[in-house]
Amino acid sequence: MQTAGMKWRWYWGIWGLMGLYMATWDMVMYPASPALRLLLLNLLQNGVWGLLGLYLIRLADRHPIESFAWSRWRTWILHLLASVLVAALGLFLAYLISLLVDAGWEKALDLKAFRKGMPRFYRAYFHTNLLFMWAVVAAFHALRIYRKYKAREVEAAQLEARFAEAQNLALRMQLQPHFLFNTLHSISALVHADPDGADDMISRLGDFLRMTLEAPPDQMVPLRKELAFIRAYLAIEQVRFQDRLRLDMEVPAELLDLRVPSFILQPLVENALKHGLADRSRNGTLRLGASRDSEYLTLEVRDDGEGYQPGREGTGLGNVRARLGLIYKGRHQLDLIGAPGRGTLVVLRLPLAEPDAEAS
């Protein structure tokens, strides 16, 4: 944003450049006149027009032109009259300066020559001067409209970011009750068949909920924290699966500090257990892997269960897709690969560049 000093430097700099331009024009038109006189004359005249332009700017600030509607005709008339008066006054002062420069500051002004030459001076330069004044008013309103446009653009972007953040938070908060409901359902299934296992599961669930409540409410967390959630969750599920579940986690240590959306892996792991391994009579393996290239972090959740079948996406996976869309705005990738009896592989490709601050 420009400071007030910078704006005034620009304003007077433009009038100074116009004075230099007109001085060179006069030097070409009147080569016999001293160059220093023409330069002084044009700089003084443009200085006067710059001062009068300040009045037009102040008037435009107090009575801005907001639209071209007929209801605003009084504002248009006000600016038109003001520009005509200022142009006339500016010409009077410019003509006075030209006579003083020609005669020399120490000599008395020849009033007869003043009255005689003024009509011709007005006929020659009035329209040009009026055009200058209109240019000042137009430039002021153009700058004002541009600033309002940019302010509205920033406000719209902030509102959109807040809306996306609220949606993201709502989706994340929806995942936690969804997970809790499924876990309680598993506990219910164990209460009669394995009371000790159910008791152990309730204890681990308490630990997991305490970890969740103590975690900061950030949308983005380091991968190591997300994996800690997954281990706590799998500790609960391990009670239900007993020896039928084997966990294989391959995550290089250098990737643990990369940031990922919080609670993004749990629904994928839950789906792998629920739809891939829960109904198997024999042992199953759940593999978690991570890798990176120059621009993306790739996370993989693989099971060797029944295999993905299109159309089976539920609340958890739908929320994962929606959250990734809000956070990364299409720069991510979520693929489900599988075939009946050959297991399922879920691949997440997340950009390494941090998403917008509003989403984190």
pLDDT by residue, tens only, the chain of 360 residues: 556 678 888 888 988 998 899 889 888 888 888 888 889 988 998 898 888 888 888 888 888 877 777 777 888 888 889 989 988 998 899 888 888 887 766 666 677 777 788 888 888 888 888 888 888 888 888 888 888 888 888 888 877 777 776 666 666 666 566 677 777 777 787 777 778 878 887 888 787 777 776 766 667 889 998 998 888 888 888 877 777 888 899 999 999 999 998 888 988 998 888 887 777 777 888 999 999 988 899 999 998 887 777 666 677 788 888 888 888 888 899 998 877 777 889 999 999 886 654 444
Beta bridge mates, 300: 289, 347
Instruction: State the DSSP code for 108.
Output: P
Which conformational region is residue 314 in: left (phi greater than 0), alpha (psi within -120 to 50 degrees), or beta?
A: beta
Residue-level pLDDT at 177 = 67
Identify each DSSP E strand in the chain by its residue range.
220-222, 245-250, 259-261, 284-292, 296-303, 333-338, 344-351
Contact between 256 and 291 under an 8 Å Cβ cutoff? The reply is: no
What are the structure tokens assigned to 219, written together?
């949308």
- The long-range contacts involving 117-123, CB below 8 angstroms and separated by at least 24 positions, are 118/92, 121/91, 121/94, 121/95, 122/88, 122/91, 122/95
DSSP sequence for 283-346: -EEEEEEEEE-SSEEEEEEEE-SS---TT---HHHHHHHHHHHHHHTT--EEEEEE-TTS-EEE
Residue-level pLDDT at 359 = 44
Contact between 246 and 233 under an 8 Å Cβ cutoff? The reply is: no
Residue-level pLDDT at 334 = 92
Contact between 23 and 43 under an 8 Å Cβ cutoff? The reply is: yes
Residue type, 32: A
* Rounded-to-integer distance, Cα 146 and Cα 167, Å: 31
* pTM listed for this prediction: 0.54
Residue-level pLDDT at 253 = 93
Separation of CA 43 from chain center: 44
What are the structure tokens assigned to 264, written together?
């993004």
Tokens 């016999």 correspond to what residue?
Answer: 32
